[in-house]
Amino acid sequence: MAGKTRQSKAKLQSAAFRRTRSDHSKELAADYVELIADLIDERGSARGTDVALRLGVANATVVKMLKRLQDMGLVTQEPYRPIALTGEGWEMAETGRKKHQIVERFLLALGVGEETARIDSEGIEHHVSDETLRAMGRFLARQIS
């Protein structure tokens, strides 16, 4: 059983790399909508500059990305106006927030400092499957008791 065929090994491993590449292709959209939702909740509206500042990228980068998010049906925007989320956008933001929170709180519960938990969770969240997320949830539930 430990002896795997060359081919089966390749198949198994390439599946992992494919998943990671697929995660990355969805990552940016997830971060954008989550951030936009946060800005709307915190300050009433999300402007391009705020998004750029929080992401640490140039304004022009945000403009271009927002067009893609519109094409994906996650965001609506009239020229020179603040950014709005579609229903689908809100849904995605909500899902993302929940996941992000669990990952961040999990790291804290594991004994990681606040700043590190904040930073690491921003990348880790996108690679956590449902199964792993559930395991983290169980760990958190255990911790409380």
Partner DNA sequence: AGTCGAATTTAGCATTGGCTAAACCTCTGT
Partner DNA sequence: ACAGAGGTTTAGCCAATGCTAAATTCGACT
Chain contacts with DNA (rule: CB under 7 A): 21, 24-25, 27-28, 47-50, 56-66, 68, 77, 79-82
Give min distance, CB of 135 to a second copy, in A.
Answer: 5
Q: Between 81 and 120, how does the x/- string for binding to Mn ion read (CB under 5 A)?
A: -------------------x--------------------
Q: Is 122 in the site for Mn ion (CB under 5 A)?
A: yes
Burial class (CB in 10 A: 0-12, 13-18, 19+), 122: middle
Please state, in angstroms and rounded to a whole number, the distance separating the CA atoms of residues 31 and 122: 9
| 72 vs 124 by CB, closer to a second copy | 124
Q: Is 64 in the site for a second copy (CB under 8 A)?
A: no
Burial class (CB in 10 A: 0-12, 13-18, 19+), 121: buried
Among 3, 20, 25, 68, binds a second copy (CB under 8 A): 20
Per the CB < 8 A criterion, the answer to whether 128 and 103 are in contact is yes
Give min distance, CB of 1 to Mn ion, in A.
Answer: 23
Please state, in angstroms and rounded to a whole number, the distance separating the CA atoms of residues 56 and 123: 15
